[in-house]
Chain A
Amino acid sequence: DQQVKQNSPSLSVQEGRISILNCDYTNSMFDYFLWYKKYPAEGPTFLISISSIKDKNEDGRFTVFLNKSAKHLSLHIVPSQPGDSAVYFCAASSAGGTSYGKLTFGQGTILTVHP
């Protein structure tokens, strides 16, 4: 039972354009969402997060949008740069239950930004 899904295994974008990475979730108990970036042979690096009480959070070139009714979030990167090429993981956590604070990850999307 995959509670967090990233349906696009890969995305290819031209440098300078917008990259949009999507994530869907099924567990309505999730109330905090995060995006991580991962380069090969490195650990995931935290990028940006959003609480379920908000619908948008922005940090520089990165913006995360949350549509709670659709159980959907997206990460926008504008403008995209070749250094953004990596695997992007969406993750979710809940404040309640015995597994509070536990991160549930999506399968990841490989982003390639071409010069």
Chain B
Amino acid sequence: EAQVTQNPRYLITVTGKKLTVTCSQNMNHEYMSWYRQDPGLGLRQIYYSMNVEVTDKGDVPEGYKVSRKEKRNFPLILESPSPNQTSLYFCASGASATTDTQYFGPGTRLTVL
């Protein structure tokens, strides 16, 4: 089954404690991206990746890092989480950025205390 998986689905942590949210897709997609969803703001793109070892900033990259060492995986790293990063995070993948359907993961709800 074609899918995008994220782990964990729920996470409560404290300020400053490094964390990683994993994202994996099994569709051999080149394009992957991370979004955060906040009430009234819709989805905002954090980082995206056009292919292995190629990543770029989206609209709200501050406080986040990503890596793309393998095509299927695109982890999101919060080196020192802060309460304003409490949000719902989605990973997505697609064959390309602009002309193909983006497939979304189920979301990770992160709370930073």
Do the two shown chains form a genuine complex with each other?
no
Q: Which B residues contact A (CB, under 8 angstroms)?
A: none
Q: Which A residues contact B (CB, under 8 angstroms)?
A: none
